Amino acid sequence: MNASAEVRDFRMPPLRPLTALRAFGRLVRDKEDTAQVFEIMRALSGGSLKRGYDRMLRSVEGGRQAYLRAELARNLDDAVWLAGFGPGTVGAAYRAFREARGFTAEGLADEARKVAPDAVDAAHPVVWYSRRIRDVHDVWHVLTGYGTDALGEACVVSFSHAQTGNLGFAFIGWGAAAEIRREAPGVPALRAVAQAWRLGRRARWLPALDYEALFREPLDAARARLGLTPPTIYDAVPETTRAALKLRA
């Protein structure tokens, strides 16, 4: 079977909403249990990954990235590579973001392997695309301006749903917003998540970008070029209030 036939015949697992509900309950009890995020994504991805990969092939830059099939996690975890970006660039902002939080791309990959150890690293173009979406998650935090507090995560996954069409992102984003509203009724979580989705719809399509080139751009210029506008509803919530959100069940 040739490569194009393999992509055409690729089948994702069927939608499993009950699995997603159970995983979300575990995530609400422990926001740091990142493996549950991947459980939800696997349960609700459906055909979105195949559609996303196909969309990459319909643009010049997306097709080039699909042809190269670079594994973004390798550069994102390369301290020497990250050190080469000057002040004010996307790369410098990403470097500061991960250093402040101790995050690594490989750490995120390890969480995904807990859910599907045999599938995550498969040598298949659609699976490569799914890794790409996983690996740019923290880059999208930097580009959009959303933090890693509970509200920020809810917003960035809502933005990601608008970009990718993956129902798992929508489920997590709106589910988290509902829990935040229950915990802290004064926080405009639903409006913030809705705005994040709209921002994702208005922005350029980010999965097909040349991320190595993007990291060399000034952050403000990159945001303007990509149509990324400030998340005003999220930004209006005091940082101390956002930090206090625990998503307790």
Closest CA to 246 of 147, 150, 146: 150
Task: Tell me, yes or no, whether 149 lies in a domain.
Answer: yes
Contact 38, 170 (CB under 8 A): no
Task: Tell me, yes or no, whether 168 lies in a domain.
Answer: yes
Residue 212: give the domain boundaries: 16-244
Sequence length of the chain is: 249
Distance CA 238, CA 229 (A): 19
Contact 172, 37 (CB under 8 A): yes
Task: Tell me, yes or no, whether 54 lies in a domain.
Answer: yes
Helix, strand, coil percentages for the chain (3-state, nearest 5): 65, 0, 30
């101390």: which residue's tokens? 240
The per-residue pLDDT for 114 is 80
Distance CA 35, CA 242 (A): 23
> Amino acid identity of 133?
I
The per-residue pLDDT for 19 is 81
Contact 249, 29 (CB under 8 A): yes
The per-residue pLDDT for 4 is 44
The per-residue pLDDT for 13 is 64
Q: What are phi and psi of 37, to 5 degrees?
A: -60, -45
Distance CA 102, CA 141 (A): 15
The per-residue pLDDT for 31 is 72
Distance CA 203, CA 166 (A): 17
Task: Tell me, yes or no, whether 6 lies in a domain.
Answer: no
Query: pLDDT tens track of the chain, all 249 residues?
Result: 344 444 445 566 677 868 888 888 888 787 778 888 888 888 888 899 999 999 999 999 999 999 999 999 999 999 999 999 999 999 999 999 999 998 888 888 887 788 777 778 889 999 999 999 999 999 999 999 999 999 999 999 999 999 999 999 999 999 999 999 999 999 999 999 999 999 999 999 999 999 999 999 999 999 999 999 999 999 999 999 999 997 643
Task: Tell me, yes or no, whether 106 lies in a domain.
Answer: yes
* 83: CB partners within 8 A, 6+ apart: 95
Task: Tell me, yes or no, whether 4 lies in a domain.
Answer: no
> Amino acid identity of 234?
Y
Q: Is 190 exposed, middle or buried (0-12, 13-18, 19+ CB in 10 A)?
A: middle
Closest CA to 130 of 116, 142, 143, 144: 116
Q: What are phi and psi of 80, to 5 degrees?
A: -65, -45
Contact 35, 111 (CB under 8 A): yes
The per-residue pLDDT for 1 is 37
Distance CA 41, CA 168 (A): 4
The per-residue pLDDT for 249 is 35
**Which residues, in sequence order, are bridge partners of residue 89?**
218
- How many domains, in total, are found in the chain? 1
Task: Tell me, yes or no, whether 37 lies in a domain.
Answer: yes
3-state DSSP assignment of residue 31: coil
Q: What are phi and psi of 10, to 5 degrees?
A: -65, 135
